[in-house]
Amino acid sequence: MANSPLVESDHPLWEPDNLRRALQAAGVSLWSWNVDSDGFTMDEQGFTHWGLPQSDSVTFEDLSEHIHPADRDRVRAAFTATRAIVGPYEIDFRVMIGEVIRWISARGLGNDSGLHNRLMFGVFLDVTGRKQAEEGHELLAGEMSHRVKNLLAIAAGLTRISARSAGTAGEMATVLTDRLTALGRAHDLVRPLPGNQGNAALLGDLLTILLAPYEDTGAFSGRIRVAVPRMGIGEGAATALALTVHELATNSMKYGALSRESGTLDVSGATDGEMITLTWTERGDSGVELPNGAAGYGSQLVIRSVTGQLGGTIDYDWASEGVIVVLKISEASLAR
């Protein structure tokens, strides 16, 4: 025998207590609005949604005081407009309960023809979770768009620099690929860190990963040492530092200590007030090549990154046993 439709008189679902339990489980509260007196009537859960003590006398203006100021006029106009809407409507807005902000969705049927004894009926639904998820998705989408635009701008700049300094198309492709790969390794670390340490990576982790390709080159294993303070760095600083470290390491492989069998590289750091000092020390065979003439485009890129994006300075000491590079970087810039 087919199941018969639910009948109010013979099914426990329609019992008032069970209906209230169902509404409470769904986070739904009931309301009515007297369009003449502006009086609001709500069930117990409605007062919970608004963070108000239960009362027999509540007006729309009483509720308006708890609507977020940025939404108040919009909600008032929307509720007034519902009398001209034919069919269902939905209005989402924020309410303030102390320091807590909740999102409420008011839903009902519009049009004065739907009034009963001058009352309009509807429900309130707490949609805070959904709204927070939507805001999170919007922030993520905006952040991803921002990062992509930044990376495209950086890639365009690196392409111009590489084109000016390369002698052949093949050399340009190699140089540009290496620089972009260094950026990729840096951005692999971009993530929030606990304890307000930064928004991207730990400084030591970043330096170690950026220098790993040079460390793994056969006989060079174990010749690169990194010892810096534990601190977090931000996304912008990670990008600038990646370019700087890549250029310094590339120069060392071509002309410096890492181009010699016994050459070593030590990267150390110390904090002093509002600045952090990173010391890049190369040691190896005598005969390390010294720079000749004006700084190349790679060196200009390093200077631009350190002074511009990292708010610091860079100095070179071309000692006969190996170059020493001292970078002074603003801690505030490092966290960005």
CATH number of 12-126: 3.30.450.20
Contacts of residue 6, Cβ cutoff 8 Å, sequence gap at least 6 = 13, 14
Helices (H), 166-234: 169-187, 203-215
Average pLDDT (60-77) is 86
d(CA 130, CA 203): 36
On whether the pTM is more than 0.95, the answer is no
Half-sphere exposure of 295 (CA within 13 A, CB side): 13
Give 125-149 pLDDT, tens digit per residue.
888 888 888 877 776 676 566 556 6
Q: Residue 194 CB: number of other CB atoms within 10 A?
A: 6
- For the chain, residues classed under CATH 3.30.565.10 are 132-334
CA angle (73 as vertex; 69, 79 as ends), nearest 5: 125
- In terms of DSSP bridges, do strands 313-319 and 322-330 run parallel, antiparallel, or are they unpaired? antiparallel
Residue-level pLDDT at 312:
85
pLDDT of residue 219 exceeding 50: no
- For the chain, residues classed under CATH 3.30.450.20 are 12-126
DSSP string for residues in 62-129: HHHTTB-HHHHHHHHHHHHHGGG--SEEEEEEEEEETTEEEEEEEEEE-SGGG-BTTEEEEEEEE-HH
d(CA 232, CA 206): 10
Average pLDDT (15-30) is 72
Angle between helices 235-254 and 297-304 (to 10 degrees): 150
Confidence of residue 1 (pLDDT cuts 50, 70, 90): very low
Residue-level pLDDT at 326:
92
**What six digits make up the tokens of 207?**
């330096």
Q: Pick the range with the lowest mean pLDDT from 14-18, 88-92, 321-325.
A: 14-18
Contacts of residue 203, Cβ cutoff 8 Å, sequence gap at least 6 = 228, 229, 230, 231, 232, 233, 269, 334
Is the domain spanning 132-334 CATH 3.30.565.10? The answer is yes
Give 272-295 pLDDT, tens digit per residue.
878 899 999 998 755 555 555 444
Q: Is 253 helix (H, G, I), strand (E, B) or coil?
A: helix
- Highest mean pLDDT pick, 115-119, 172-176, 224-228, 332-336: 224-228
pLDDT of residue 178 exceeding 80: no
End-to-end CA distance of the chain: give it in Å, rounded. 70
- In terms of DSSP bridges, do strands 28-34 and 119-126 run parallel, antiparallel, or are they unpaired? antiparallel
d(CA 287, CA 53): 84
Does 230 or 9 have the greater pLDDT score?
A: 230
Contacts of residue 30, Cβ cutoff 8 Å, sequence gap at least 6 = 23, 42, 43, 46, 121, 122, 123
Confidence of residue 112 (pLDDT cuts 50, 70, 90): low
Residue-level pLDDT at 52:
83
